[in-house]
A = this chain, B = another copy of it.
Amino acid sequence: MKNFEFHNPTKIVFGKDALNKIAIELKEYGTSCLLVIGQKSAKASGTYDRVVKILKDGRINFWTLEGVQSNPLLSKVHEGIEIVKKNEIEMLLAFGGGSCMDTAKAISAGVKLHGEIWDVFEGKKEIKEALPVFCIPTLAASGSEMNGFMVITNKEKGLKLAAGSPHLFPKVSFLNPEFTFTVPKNYTAFGGVDAICHLLEPYFNGPYPNTPVQDELAEGLIRVIMKTTESSMKNPEDYDSRASMMWAATLALNGLTRAGVGDHPFPVHLIEHSLSVLYNIPHGQGLAALLPGWMKWKAEEKKEPAKVAQLGKRCFGVEKGLDDIKASTETIKAFGHWLNKIDCPKCLSEIPVPSADHEKIAENALFQAGVWGIEDTYNKETILKILSFCQ
């Protein structure tokens, strides 16, 4: 195991009654908040009204920033920063998927930053403080409700970049699985793939220190997410299924399975963010198209089939007796089969993204690689090679 630090101060209130705790928790930090919501569903489903009533009853003044879209935009972050500054708002309350939570986080940091928040994403500035953020996630996917990360798209620059800070951990997240009942089948699947990818990227962090704790936790969560993604697609209002999927997705990127595996980049996320920004496709769909190819690149190009084989034997029912090379091939096949089963692409051509576009995808991804300081390992040649395995 590698040396690590683990610190996750976010409080989770989980269950059907989670929202009842909003006023009491928020009031520990202030009496005014900006409610950050998406484009339609919050208002259409009536849950927005429920949150509004809770804030009013709790005597918390609030403003609403609406219209956050998936692959959330920097322009919306700027809009939020203006409202918060003008009205001297003390807190952010995100109500929606990862895009709403990440927008709220970017606003919370942007308000306190001397200068432009985008500079943080380009690695030119550091977050030193942020307003308190609270989350009510409505999608089991990003894990943003229990981590210090955010991803924002700059449309003008054609870049989708990630940034993080210990100051961005939400103070409290309120998780009511019922709020995910209305997530459509395809987004339920994309969410499951996103959470699995969060587990697989640190899991496949070669050269593989001895990490049985982290392996067991990741593999257990993957098994649960696979099962509950399928059962939630089949029975969208099955509380237990949605609840386990939601909690597993939260734990998938709360730092637990990453701690101790050593420094690890997120190459699949790196490349996917370019797919999202270039083709405006959902994040989980892009990840699905990249994961099997990336695992194949690991097994064949990097000659590291053992961990792929371990994954398959423990999570995909691959025969225990097979040698690593055969087992890794079976794992990738089984994973692709599962992705197709939940109506996700298993390669780029199924999106479709043509191989002629690899060059421009790689060019785009290089910017993030540079910001993350991994441009030597994930240079253009390597990214192109991975893309060729994913085609």
Q: A: which residues have CB within 8 A of B?
A: 1-18, 177, 209-213, 216-217, 219-221, 223-224, 227-228, 240, 243-244, 247-248, 251, 256, 259-260
Measured CB to CB, the closest approach of chain B to A263, in angstroms, equals 13
Contact of A11 among B7, B227, B244, B256 (CB under 8 A): B7
Contact status of A212 and B15, CB under 8 A, knowing A9-B9, A219-B220 = no
CA distance A14 to B1 in the complex (A): 10
CA distance A78 to B221 in the complex (A): 45
Beyond the given pairs A1-B244, A3-B18, 10 more chain A to chain B contacts, judged by CB atoms under 8 angstroms and listed by A's residue number, are: A1-B243, A3-B14, A4-B15, A5-B12, A5-B14, A209-B240, A210-B240, A213-B221, A216-B220, A217-B220
CA distance A228 to B211 in the complex (A): 12
Task: Please give the count of copies of this chain that the complex contains.
Answer: 2
Verify A213–B224 contact, CB threshold 8 A: yes
Verify A212–B260 contact, CB threshold 8 A: no
Verify B11–A5 contact, CB threshold 8 A: yes
Contact status of A259 and B14, CB under 8 A, knowing A1-B240, A1-B247 = yes
Measured CB to CB, the closest approach of chain B to A365, in angstroms, equals 32
Verify A247–B213 contact, CB threshold 8 A: yes
CA distance A127 to B16 in the complex (A): 29
Q: Which residue of B lies closest to A219 (CB)?
A: B220
Chain B residues whose C-beta falls within 8 Å of the C-beta of A240 in the assembled complex: 1, 209-210
Q: Which residue of B lies closest to A146 (CB)?
A: B6
Verify A212–B18 contact, CB threshold 8 A: no
- List the 10 shortest-distance A-B pairs measured between CB atoms, nearest first: A3-B15, A216-B220, A7-B11, A210-B240, A1-B243, A6-B12, A9-B9, A220-B220, A212-B224, A213-B248
Q: List 8 A-B contacts (CB under 8 A).
A: A1-B15, A3-B16, A6-B12, A211-B244, A212-B224, A213-B224, A247-B260, A251-B256
Chain B residues whose C-beta falls within 8 Å of the C-beta of A211 in the assembled complex: 244
CA distance A137 to B218 in the complex (A): 26
Q: Which residue of B lies closest to A243 (CB)?
A: B1
CA distance A14 to B3 in the complex (A): 5
Chain B residues whose C-beta falls within 8 Å of the C-beta of A14 in the assembled complex: 1, 3-6, 259-260
